[in-house]
Amino acid sequence: MIKNRFIIFPQILFLCLFSFCSDTSLFQQRYKTRVVLTSQIGRPLITRTYDLAVNELKKEEHFYSNGIKKHECLYANHTLQTGSPVLWWYNNGQIQSRTIFSENDQIVSIDIWYNNGVKQFSFYGNVFTWWNEKGHKETVGTLDDFTCKLPIITTRGRIAGQRIATGLENRTWQEEWVLFDGNNHREFSGLVQCTLTSRQNVHREAIPGWINEKTGKRYKIENQLQDILNNHTRGFYFVIIDKMGKNNIPEEDNNSEKVSELLRGKEKTTFKARQYQRMYELILNADGTFIHSWDKGRLDKSDLESGYATGHFAVNSMGTKAKLYYKQGLHSGEAHELEIVSHREIKYSFRGTSYFLR
């Protein structure tokens, strides 16, 4: 009996060790949510959930300073998830808008509400409807009408304003625009001259004379607006603005002396790690820039693409921690902290692994 116990115990110990060392336990940590931006009192304002095994953003949420949810959307293959609603809320908890995009980023449907819960606008199947705040219908039409009153939205589904377009079947036409502030209130109004340059491509030019709706006075925003129209606006029926803004993360000084110590005086140093069945490489350059890259891989019988992200990094005065300020690629607009164990090992806590000098 005692002999059998001694035989069984090593088997149990082996199974326990295998369970801790296998990829199964690691894959339970593949989804990580990080706080990207916080309020002055430490409440989360923006959070993002990542699938670290495939290096993709899966979900983004925004919150008001009072903790009420402001925005939610799901991602797949580095873009908004097709058929999944993009949601925005008012700071009283009332839903503000619900937008669904197709695979080619075309709008399938939009619903907008006033902050009292009354439906303001709806579009589906080529038909749009506007209601006033009392719930009475004001306008019903289709995209084929001579005059269309439609919302202006961002690529994240937020309502940025509204416009009245007359004569869309012509090569040139004018549109009356109203731009909203961050609380969905009218802020600026004016005219935009439109010219059809090719099928579904429109050149828009802001006409001088825009009015600040809050003061009733003229306000020179034409130059700023023109930059948005030229570089960040697309769409024929629905105008979509893809200038969503960057998170203003304060960057620390890169502390060139500590950077040089970490790199041992070299122009660059390469750290590597193996995670989720593929190799990762973190290159730190003497000028304070970095490249974080990953090889191709395979997961759940599917191929994983290689990729990379870039930015700047800084080392603290003690030489014990570093921050990666992502500028391009995955985690753009975020700051990730690293623990400097030694000049040969850096612990990346968010990814739950260490990168070693190679």
Identify which of 214, 216, 358 has the alpha carbon closest to the alpha carbon of residue 282.
358
1 vs 318: CA distance, rounded Å: 59
Q: What is the CATH number of the domain that holds 346?
A: 2.40.128.300
Taking the model in full, what pTM does it have?
0.79
Average pLDDT on 290-299 reads 93
Indicate whether 213 belongs to any domain.
yes
What is the pLDDT, as a whole number, of residue 250? 59
Give the percent of the chain with pLDDT over 70.
Answer: 89
- Amino acid at position 337, single letter: E
Tens of pLDDT, residues 215-237: 999 988 888 899 999 988 888 88
| One domain for residues 337 and 217 | no
pLDDT at residue 11 greater than cutoff 60: no
Amino acid 243: pLDDT:
59
Query: What is the Cα Rg of the chain in Å?
Result: 26
Integer Cα distance of 160 and 225 in angstroms: 13
Q: Which two tokens stand for residue 160?
A: 């940025």
Helix (H) or strand (E) holding 5: helix 2-21
What is the C-alpha separation between 71 and 61, in angstroms, rounded? Answer: 5
In a domain, 110, yes or no: yes
Predicted local confidence at residue 234, as pLDDT: 87
Cα–Cα distance, 71 to 60 (Å, whole number):
8
Same domain assignment for residues 353 and 310 = yes
d(CA 204, CA 225): 10
My answer on whether 221 and 260 are in the same domain is no
61 within some domain: no
**Is 265 found in the same domain as 166?**
no
Number of independent structural domains in the chain? 2
Residue 270 lies in a domain: yes
State residue 176's pLDDT score.
Answer: 96
What is the mean pLDDT of the segment spanning 118-130? 95
How many angstroms separate the CA atoms of 343 and 12, rounded?
38
pLDDT in tens, 54-107: 999 999 999 999 999 999 999 998 888 988 999 999 999 999 999 998 887 788
Sign of the four-CA dihedral 296, 311, 154, 237: negative
Binning pLDDT at 50, 70 and 90, where does residue 299 land? confident
Does any domain span residue 321?
A: yes
End residue of a domain, out of 207, 241, 275: 241
Please give the single-letter amino acid code of residue 69: K
With residue 111 as reference, give the H or E element that holds it: strand 107-113
Average pLDDT over residues 247-256: 66
Residue 35 sits at φ, ψ, to 5 deg, of: -85, 120
Shared domain check, 210 and 129: yes
Give yes or no: residues 108 and 230 share one domain: yes
* Same domain (yes/no): 267, 232: no
Q: What is the pLDDT of residue 10?
A: 47
More confident residue, 10 or 253: 253
Classify residue 27: in a domain, yes or no.
Answer: no
Same domain, 104 and 237: yes
- Give CA–CA dist 77/44, Å, rounded: 25
Q: Is the pLDDT of residue 271 over 80?
A: yes
Q: Which of 11-15, 108-112, 116-120, 303-307 has the lowest mean pLDDT?
A: 11-15
Q: Which of 182, 213, 241 is the last residue of a domain?
A: 241
**Which whole number is the average pLDDT over 265-276?**
94
Both structure tokens of 221: 């925003």
Instruction: Quote the tokens at residue 257.
Output: 């002396």
309-355 pLDDT, tens digit each = 999 999 998 999 999 999 999 999 899 999 999 999 999 999 999 99
Of 159-168, 296-305, 310-319, which range is least confident?
Answer: 296-305
Closest CA to 107 of 115, 117, 97, 116: 97
Residue 201 lies in a domain: yes
Last residue of a domain, one of 175, 206, 241: 241
Mean pLDDT calculated for residue range 42-56? 94
Q: Is the pLDDT of residue 37 over 50?
A: yes
3-class SS of residue 250: coil
Same domain for 182 and 303?
no
177 found inside a domain: yes
Question: Could you list the residue range(s) of the whole structural domain that residue 132 is in?
Answer: 98-241
Under a CB-based contact definition with an 8 Å cutoff, are residues 146 and 166 in contact? yes
pLDDT at 199 over 90: no
In this prediction, residues 109-135 reach a mean pLDDT of 93
Same domain, 233 and 105: yes
- Whether residues 201 and 260 share a domain: the answer is no
- CB neighbourhood size of 345 (10 A): 14
Residues 308 and 200 in one domain: no
- Residues 6 or more apart whose CB falls under 8 angstroms from that of 37 comprise 44, 45, 46, 247, 249
- What does the mean pLDDT of the chain come to? 87
